[in-house]
Structures are given as C-alpha cells and as structure tokens.
A and B are shown apart, each in its own frame.
Chain A
Amino acid sequence: MKNLKLPQLMGGAVLAGLMLQAGVTHAAADAEAIIKNKCLACHSEEQAEPAQFSRMSHQRKSPEGWLMSIARMQVMHGLKISDDERRTLVKHFSDTQGLAPEETAGARYAMERRLNTMETYESSAFEEMCARCHSGARVELQRRPAAEWENLVHFHLGQWPTLEYQALARDRDWMQLALNEMVPQLAADLPLKSASWDKWKSMKKVPMAGRWSFSAQMPGKGDARGVMTITGGKRDQYKVKLEGEFADGSALKGQGSAIVYTGYEWRANLKIDGVKMRQVFAASADGAELTGRMFETVHDEAGMDFTAVREGSAPKLLSVQPEFIRAGSTEVLTLVGTGLGNKLSLGKGLKVMEELYRDDNKVVVQVKASKDAAMGTRSVSAGKANGASLNVFDQIGSVKVVPSFAVARVGGNGGSTPKYNAHFQAEAWMNGADGKAGTDDDMRIGFVPASWHVEPFDAQAEADRDTHFTGKMDAKTGLFTTAAAGPNPERRMSTNNAGNLKVVADVKENGKTLSADGQLIVTVQRWNNPPLP
C-alpha cells in the first residue's frame, strides 16, 4: 500500500521561515574571505587562482537553492555565520554559479511558490526516485557533474537511512538505481557546464532602476495595474514602490526593498496595504520586462501573476483588462503597457465609442462589440504597442474550476504554522464550431465571477462531515479558509480537521446555471517549509 509510511523516521532540517532578504551584502573578495574563514574547517581549497573549493565550486543553482545549501551547513553541520555573511555568500554563489534564464524555464513555479502546481514527468523513474519527497523542480533548478550528483545521493541516504525503506523505495533497489541510473541521467540532463550559462555569464547585465508599468491578476480580486518605481542599484540592491489599483478601484500600494541575483533574479520584500508581500520575478535578457509572482509572505498561497514593462523601452501592450468582451455588448476596457499609441486596433467588429482616460501606460476606453464580431482570440495593439489579446465570445458554453485540484492545510490555533488556504477561480469557455462543450475546439474566455460552495468529495467525506469541519468557502471570492489545526474532539477518533472536498462554482449565463467542480484536499500542516518546495 502506497500510504504505508514509516512513522516519524525522516528528520528534516527546519528551514521554516527562511527567506532571501535584501540587506547588506559584500563583494566577491569578501565572499572568498568568508569561505576561507568559515567553510574550510570542513571543505578544502582545491586551487588558489581562480579560487576553487571542494563541493561548493562544482554546483550551480538558484538563489533559493544556495540559501538552502548554506542554511543546511548551519542547521546540520554546525557552521556558524552571521546573516550578513550568509547573504553575501548567497549573492556571490548565485552570481558566479547561478542558472541562466533558460535553465530555469519550466521550473520557476517552485521559486514563485505556486505550491499547487501539478508536476508530471515523462520519466516515472525520476518522479518516483527524486520527486517524491520534494518537488522535481528543486532538482531541475540545479546543475552538477556526475560526481556531485553522486555526492547528493550519498548525502540523502546517509542523512536519512530510512529513505530506502519507505514506500516507493522499498519496492526496488533504491541505492543501486540512484547511483547507477539516476546519476548518469541527471548528469546528462542537468550538467554543470552549459552554453547558456557561459553566454549569460559573459553578458552585460541591465540595472533595474526606472519606472515600470505593471499588469497583474489575482484570484478573488481580479485584474490589477499600475506603476512600480525602482530606485537605487548599488550592489544590486533597490528600493521599490508600487502604486496601482485593482479593477474594482481599490488601491494596490506599498513599498519595500529588493535585490537582484544572477543579473535577472528579482526578489523583493514589500508591505502592501499593511500586508507583507514578496516578489519573485525574472527580468528578460534585455532588462525591459519583469515576470513572475507577487504573494503574501505568510500566506504565499495568496498571490498574483505579475508582469511589468520598463517605461522608455520599446512600446508594449501587457494586457487588456478584462480580457474578454461579449458580442453585442458595450464594455469599458483598460489597456495596460507602455508607450501606448493613439491608434487602437481592436480588430473587426469592435468599435471604440469613447476614450475615458489615457496616459503612456494606460488607456481606458468604452468599446462596443457588434453582434457579428468574429468569435475567438484577437491581437490588440495601441500604436506600436502590441503583445496582448482580447477574447470575443457570444455565450459561455462551459466553466472550469482553476486549479482543478488543490491542497490546503489546517493551521493556526496557537501552533507555529499558519493556515494554508486555497483560492479558486472560475474560468469561462465558449463552445467551438461543433457547438459542444468540453471538446478540443473550445475557446478560453477568461475568469468570471461565480458563486462558490463545497460538497463532500465522496461517501467517506460525507460520513466524516468534512464540509462541516475542514473550513469555510467564501461564496463570492472562491477563497477557502481552512479550519484550525490540532485534534478536534467533535470528530471521529478526535482526528484533525482534514478532509476531501468537491469545490463547486456556479456561473449564471442567460438565466441558466453552469456548474463546474474541482477537488480540494485539506490536510495537516507542512512542518518543514523550505524556500524551494
């Protein structure tokens, strides 16, 4: 049985709350001095010029990856360094032994803390061997030669001797497979040396200071836009100020500080409307765009997709908000980007009735969509600024719950672990030419308001009254707030408030109700919450 686990055998270093923080960092020479002072108690200097040290000089990884490795030296091996020194080292290693932007593609969700991402891998061996306890992304965000992947396998099994006894390990010769099959595969797929890194390393990096026009989308709140002002830049440290608004007119405002690793990895800590938030963005190679996610520091499940374009760079349209319009209706649309030109091109059948507002980054217009406007996605431009699209539809054919599967965790109640809530959105789709919902030619419309509730996922959940105990769904926003942690005497066997729910969205369309559902597992706290899941 796959659920049969050895109880309480795997100890993990407690890296809870560990985060990349802007703050004092020092130059490369200082980093080398710290290494010589602090690391050589256990590591060795392999070469003086250029300096090369055992283990640490033969790996490349993300800033979060470096943070975790060095924090492990502190927690597991008793390394003593100050937070300043650790920051300096993380910065140094990320800059000199980081990942090229394309080497992080496909795995950024882990840094962006999109913990409900469903990972799938072609190699079931990789999935079962290396993406069972932690994300596969943690692995994909590293580069090593075979000898270092081998060291990593020995570290795993040496640190957690019970690893090979666990489900999905005890059914095979784990150690032999890890050393003889996974190591060569990892060394081939994720090698230390790469052309992309060589190229990125030698490229001149663009400083981030400037004014940036941004567009964002947040579950429960909807679209947002505004201007982000970045100042400073000494030692890649910046101040950042955000001034924007949500589609409903409420403010999105705040400020904080940021640091850039590896020439493009933007990490900021801000306070937005009194709430601590983090930004994890990647800058494009030309330094004109920032893309990623901004999320609450404590509740990182609450966050928004975020893109920004630098004022003064080539004209660019980031989004049309909302991203859809119904044929035969008149709506207010907001175009967000920079260098937005006067001539708006919305395609045939869409007519600008009135321009309500305009500046370089934002144009608000009233648009009429004729009844016979062509259905589907169309590109939109404002002068030379393009890159965004608009979906024209006549009626909603079906709805999907996004995400279709989510995990939330109980928390709070005096414990050290906050609740991990779940946020859902209703995504509207229109039928394609076949007039049928759920077929390949369906076209995405966008996120629409819905009325939300939860139901028991199955008979077991019904018998255990999971809907009653696990938490509360906000009918309007699709935000599920989990119940308190700890045993609940009202439940069978005083179990905790875990459960299995069906999440239902009802969307009204032409007097009918379109329903969709997803699944929400509510489970116990994540005791160990490292920077990379």
Chain B
Amino acid sequence: MNKKNTLRRSMAAMLATVTLGAMALISSTVMAAQGPALKSGDEYMIVANYPNQMHVLDLKTDSIYKTCDMPDRFGPGALQVSPDKKTAYILNNGYEDIYGVDMDTCEVTFHARMAANKKERTKTIYAFALSYDGKELYAVQNPTLMERDHYRVQPTRLAVYSTDAGVNAKPIRTFPSPRLVTAMQVGKDGGLYMAGADIYKMDVKTGEYEVSVPSRNWKRERYVQPDVLNVWAVQTPTQDFTILYTTARFQKGSEDLNSADWLYGYFNINLETGETETKDFGPITEIYFTGTRSPKDSNIMYGVLNRLAKYDIEKQTLLKAAELDHSYYCITVSNDGSKLYLAGTHNHVAVFDADTLERLNTITLPGGDMSTTTAQVFIR
C-alpha cells in the first residue's frame, strides 16, 4: 500500500528469516526410473517437490502416474509445460538453472544455467516462459557480480534461448529488462507479458517493451496503489494469464484508509486475443496466493491460501469457502472446469469439486514439501 503502514513495530517482531540451510547440497547426476510414456488425450498435472522430483499425476484417477528425479538441487520447482505437452521446464537448483525434461522418458533434454560466466551468481525469480510455438524460452535474470571481497548487483536482463539448444544452452539474444519481474507468459502474437511493477509486454525480437496493464502506476480514481505478488504463472485451459491484486478504494471525497473498502481483484490477459482486464472481485477477508477463473463460467473466481474460496465476480461476493487442513499456495483447474487441484507447501495435492467445493481426494506425494512449485494441468 502506498499509505504508511501503521502496524506497531518492535524489534522482537522483526521478520524471522528462514534459512535455506536445510536444503542439502546434493548434486546428483540423475539416472531416474523412466516410467511409462504419457498417453495422448489423457489429462495430467505436474508438480515438483523435495528432495528433488517432478511428479506427473493422472487426473482421471487422481493418482501418481510417474515420478522423475531432477538434476542438481530443488528450489523453487517452478514449472512450465511446452505447447506440445511433451516437455516440462523447471526452474531449480536454487533459482539458478532451467531444465527441460521429456515427460515420457524423464530425460533432461534442455539445460540453461542463468549465470553468463563464472563470476556471476544469477537467479531467476520465477520469471520464465515459453513462446507460443515452444521454440523459444525466455527468462528474466538477476545477475550479481561476485567480486572477491564485494558484490555488484547488475541490471536485470531478458535472455532468450532456443529450446532445441540442448543441455548447454546459451542465450541467442539478451535485452535489458525491467526489475521485479516474476510471472511471465507469451501471447499468441508473440508478445511476452511480464508481471513486474506493472505488467509489461515485450517484443522478444527487439527487446522493446511497454506497459500493457498498469499496476503500480494504475490510474484508478480513489484507488491506492495495488499490492501484487504472483510467482505462480499457471497455464490455464482458457489461455488466461491471471494475477491477483489487493487494493483499497477510498470512499467518495475521503482519503481515509480506515473507512476505505479493501478489495481483491485480478489482472487478466487473454493470451489468445490479447484482451486485458483489471477487475475487483470481492472484499478482502483473507489472503490468497493464487486465483484462477472457471473455464466453465468466467464469472467464477477461485482463490486459495488458508481456505479455498469461490467468488461471483460480477456480484463481488463470496459464494462459498472450504476449510483446509493446511495452507496451499497454488490453485489449478481441470480442463472441463469440474475439479480444482491445490498444491504447494507440504506434499499433498488436494482435489475439490469445483461446484460444491467438496473435497474429493488427496494425492500424497512421496518426498517432502512442494515449496512454491507451480502446478500445471494439461491434456497430452
């Protein structure tokens, strides 16, 4: 929020930082069991988790179809599926590498290290996407020069890779990129939508970009600057790239946050048509990490974190909410819109009826926490 936060501060309340120390630094050259190939026409979902695996779930039976071991170390396990639904791309190795994995064989067919040279430590904060035809992969990279006794943070850059470059892929083009980009998706027209301070659209041939959907710089009368955190670029059946925001809208003639309406809303870009939307869908009563609209009824929005909630967008009302056994970060929906799949943190994928929000099933993954993995649903 752009208004001063009035929370009481005390030193004892300072953010307790979570150590990444728990992650074992195991670098394993993977010789995974390959498991069965995927079947054309079947619907699947992929997720990743500790210690370092990717699971393919069969959504007909809501069970694990196969498990592929991933190279190097886990984290964050963000995923994108290629347009031909054969290859899964995973951001891993502590945000420093992207791997392409053939889902039929579990074989790593693509590998790009984000660092351009040995002196760099370069992280991609969830920001990668595939071109509409699957031939190129885009990543926003945050490089730091690790000098011997000091660091120098470098400007962020967009690196373009050819997906057929193999396991030692180098960028074929790079461009300066805005900072703070997380989720990204590519439109049918080839434009790269990058969610950062605003949602930008970049021409991946020239590196030129413009604001496609204003967020930090939106001009909505009586609204304060929205807060946006989206690290889950969920590929939806409807080709919608959806990002939630929270904001406050002052009462008419007022500048007082205490009387303002606190609202949830979404930015949407239809990747097929390029149509964009900025729309409130309900009052803030709790936090959601991700939200997605029903492919059956675009007026229905689902959100998840500590509860699973269902909203009527036009009426801006909460229709239903389901209690959960623990937090889930990432929500996805089956292609026909009948089932919801909740993933992220812990090792349970929770399956819900999209209409009744009745819990149908729990798929327990071998291994540990899913952390901030992106769940992706697709039909082979």
**A contacts, CB < 8 Å to B:** 1-12, 14, 42-44, 54-55, 110, 115-120, 124, 127-128, 131-135, 137, 151, 154-155, 157-159, 161-162, 164-165, 167-168, 170-171, 173, 175, 405-409, 420, 493-494, 521, 523-528, 533
Contact = CB atoms under 8 A, between A and B. Distances in A.
Contact of A171 (B2, B15, B146, B287): B2
Contact of B19 (A43, A158, A170, A528): A528
B134 to A, nearest CB: 28
Contact of B287 (A1, A134, A135): A1
Interface in B189-232: 197, 216, 225, 227-229, 231
B24 interface: no
Contacts of A155: 150-151
Contacts of B1: 1-2, 171
B17 A161 contact: no
Given A10-B17, A133-B17, A161 B5 contact: no
B151 A158 contact: yes
B372 A158 contact: no
A154 B151 contact: yes
A164 B180 contact: yes
A119 B11 contact: yes
B213 to A, nearest CB: 16
B371 interface: yes
A135 B11 contact: yes
B16 A527 contact: yes
Interface residues of B, number: 55
Contacts of B131: none
B182 interface: yes
Contacts of B287: 1, 3-4
Contacts of A133: 14-15, 17
A42 B151 contact: no
Contacts of B9: 118-120, 127, 131
Contacts of A42: 148-149
A449 B74 CA distance: 55
8 contacts: A6-B231, A11-B19, A115-B11, A116-B10, A128-B5, A161-B95, A165-B125, A420-B12
Nearest to A138: B11
Nearest to B225: A171
A4 B227 contact: yes
B80 interface: no
A158 B154 CA distance: 9
B118 interface: no
Contact of B284 (A1, A134, A407): A1
Contacts of A408: 12
Given A4-B287, A133-B17, A493-B306, A110 B11 contact: yes
B10 A1 contact: no
A523 B13 contact: yes
Nearest to A134: B14
A334 B346 CA distance: 60
Contacts, number: 160
B256 interface: no
A421 to B, nearest CB: 11
B152 interface: yes
Nearest to B196: A170
B372 A8 contact: yes
A170 B229 contact: yes
Nearest to A110: B11
Contacts of A493: 306, 323-326
Given A165-B180, A170-B197, A521-B13, A154 B153 contact: yes
Given A124-B4, A173-B179, A493-B324, A528 B10 contact: no
B97 to A, nearest CB: 15
B310 to A, nearest CB: 19
A58 B2 CA distance: 36
Contacts of A137: 11
Contacts of B10: 115-119, 405-407
Interface string B7-30: 111111111111111000000000
Nearest to A526: B16
Contacts of B188: none
A165 B9 CA distance: 21
A488 to B, nearest CB: 13
A530 B322 CA distance: 40
A524 B225 CA distance: 31
B113 interface: no
B329 interface: yes
B293 interface: no
B236 interface: no
A323 B15 CA distance: 38
Contact of A527 (B18, B123, B149, B180): B18
B12 A527 contact: no
A60 B12 CA distance: 25
Nearest to A404: B8
Interface string B145-173: 01011111100000000000000000000
A118 B8 CA distance: 8
B121 interface: yes
B125 A11 contact: no
Contacts of A167: 227, 229
